[in-house]
Amino acid sequence: MTDVRPTSGAASGVLHTLFRTDQGGHEQVVLCQDRESGLRAVIAIHSTALGPALGGTRFYPYASDEEAVLDALNLSRGMSYKNALAGLDHGGGKAVIIGDPDLIKTEQLLLTYGRFVASLGGRYVTACDVGTYVRDMDVVARENRWTTGRSPENGGAGDSSVLTAFGVFQGMRAAARAQWGEPTLRGRRVGIAGVGKVGHHLVEHLVEDGAEVVITDVRAEAVERITARYPQVTAVRDADVLIRTPLDVYAPCALGGALNDETVAALTATVVCGAANNQLAHPGVEKDLADRGILYAPDYVVNAGGVIQVADELHGFDFERAKAKATKIFDTTLAIFDRAKADGIPPAAAADRLAEQRMAEARASR
The residues assigned a catalytic role are 94
Q: DSSP readout, 12-78?
A: HHHHHHHHHSTT---SEEEEEEETTTTEEEEEEEEE-SSSSEE--EEEE--SSHHHHHHHHHHHHHH
E strand or H helix at 192: strand 189-193
> Cβ distance 198 to 253 under 8 Å?
yes
> Cβ distance 128 to 149 under 8 Å?
yes
Nearest to 141 by CA among 40, 236, 133: 133
Q: DSSP readout, 88-119?
A: -S-EEEEEEEES-HHHH--HHHHHHHHHHHHT
Nearest to 54 by CA among 84, 29, 32, 24: 84
Nearest to 82 by CA among 46, 134, 135, 108: 46
Kindly tell me the burial class for residue 275, based on how many C-beta atoms sit within 10 Å of its own C-beta (0-12, 13-18, 19 or more): buried
249 forms beta bridges with 190, 271
* CA 31/CA 80 separation, integer angstroms: 20
* CA 319/CA 336 separation, integer angstroms: 26
